[in-house]
Amino acid sequence: MASHSNSDRVTRLFGTLPGNVDVVALSPGETLRYFTGLKMHKSERPTLVFLFRDGSPVVVHPELEGDRIEESLPDAERYTYEDATDPVIAAQGAFERLTDERTIPEPIGAEFRSTRLLEREVFAPDGEEVVDVENAVAAVRSRKDDGEIERMRTAVEIIEGIFQDVFELIEPGMTEIDIETEIKKRVMESDADAYGVGIVTSGERTAHAHANTGSRAVEDGDLVMIDAGVIYEGYYSDITRTVAVGEPESELVEIYNVVQEAAAAARDCVEPGVEFQEIDRAARTVIEDAGYGEYFPHRVGHGLGLEGHEPPYLVEGNDGTLEPGHAVTVEPGIYVPGLGGVRIEDDVVVTEDGSAVLSTSSRDLRIL
């Protein structure tokens, strides 16, 4: 799949939307960055970019952001405001100047997941109709092009290399925080933009599927679960490996083997036309048949890209289908309270005739 320009992406977006939605309001966030190249964080000063089915973008923004917006959207019409007073009221004034000069057709589309009430107070203060464009945005963003996939592949290569280095350092007495610190140090020394996601647990704490990295010290016989990723040129990696420090209990080895089989079964299902929920079912069947069904409490995976978690979601009830360009995680796990847990997570891209697993490090139980 070739790379797409921002204008191509906007065209695809409106091709997915109902015909009565001719304008979409985007606020700072990853969707705005995806469609315009404009990278901004949300603040108390509203910024809104209006994309039109026909015509160039229009931006309402604080005056102090002018240089940034000019660089990314040189052809956009801009309505600025000073924020020496209440920035929302000032932004409303700028929007009123916009509507005095041109018609903004209703309904306005907006992504409810990322648009705050603060922004809605600017462009729809009197209850004007606003349509959620979440599904249309997800349909476009989830189909990664070649350039996006290559960025993700590089992000995976970076974190896998860091994992291999850090595995060599883990020993009894190190704390979970010590281990994560070693990961973060190497991320800072790498080509990555930033550390993306991160959880390190050990021993009985591996039974917590999601937990904060803690101060527990690793002991001989522990499992250590590391879930981490980096951001490279805006795109995430997200992988999990579970290793043993010394010989683990036999049931932990059994659990590991079941998760390894479940992960392989799920990865093998990833191909165009397969329902999202079927990937979850493939892993869950293996885990349930082994008697651990009650200890697999989460979906098997999620989309990956400009965000660490984004559509599509591989979960029971989601009967949408995988398409070429979808990038997802596959991450079954078993978590037994009082004993420990195992998760194996890989990043997978759907291709025209199957799938490509971006993460290549061994999934066999590694005993350090």
Per-domain residue ranges of the chain? 6-141, 146-367
In this prediction, residue 283 carries a pLDDT of: 98
Q: What is the pTM of this model?
A: 0.92
In this prediction, residue 127 carries a pLDDT of: 86
Q: Which residues contact 326 (CB under 8 A, 6 or more apart)?
A: 142, 143, 144, 303, 312, 349, 350
Encode pLDDT of 261-296 as tens digits: 999 999 999 999 999 999 999 999 999 999 999 999
In this prediction, residue 85 carries a pLDDT of: 86
Q: What percent of the chain has pLDDT over 70?
A: 99
- What's domain 6-141's superfamily in CATH? Creatinase/prolidase N-terminal domain (3.40.350.10)
What's the CATH number of domain 146-367, 3.30.70.600, 3.90.230.10, 3.30.428.10, 3.40.50.620? 3.90.230.10
Q: Cα(2)–Cα(96) distance, rounded to whole angstroms?
A: 40
User: How many residues are present in the chain?
Assistant: 368
What are the DSSP calls for 220-239, one per residue? TTEEEEEEEEEEETTEE--E
pLDDT lower than 50: segments of the chain = none
* Phi-psi sector, 212: left (phi>0), alpha (psi -120 to 50), beta: beta
| Cβ atoms < 10 Å from Cβ of 117 | 6
3-state helix, strand, coil in the chain (%, to 5): 35, 25, 40
In this prediction, residue 4 carries a pLDDT of: 65
Q: Cα(195)–Cα(216) distance, rounded to whole angstroms?
A: 22
Report helix, strand or coil for 241.
strand
Encode pLDDT of 310-330 as tens digits: 999 999 999 999 999 999 999
User: What is the distance between the terminal CA atoms of the chain, rounded to a whole angstrom?
Assistant: 41
In this prediction, residue 3 carries a pLDDT of: 58
Instruction: List, as own/partner pairs, every contact residues 271-275 make where C-beta atoms lie below 8 angstroms and the sequence separation is at least 24, other chains included.
Output: 271/322, 271/350, 271/353, 271/354, 271/355, 272/321, 272/322, 272/323, 272/324, 272/350, 272/351, 272/352, 272/353, 272/354, 273/321, 273/322, 274/321, 274/322, 275/318, 275/319, 275/320, 275/321, 275/322
What are the DSSP calls for 270-308, one per residue? -STT-BHHHHHHHHHHHHHHTT-GGG--S-SEEE-SSSS
Tell me the two tokens of residue 137: 């945005």
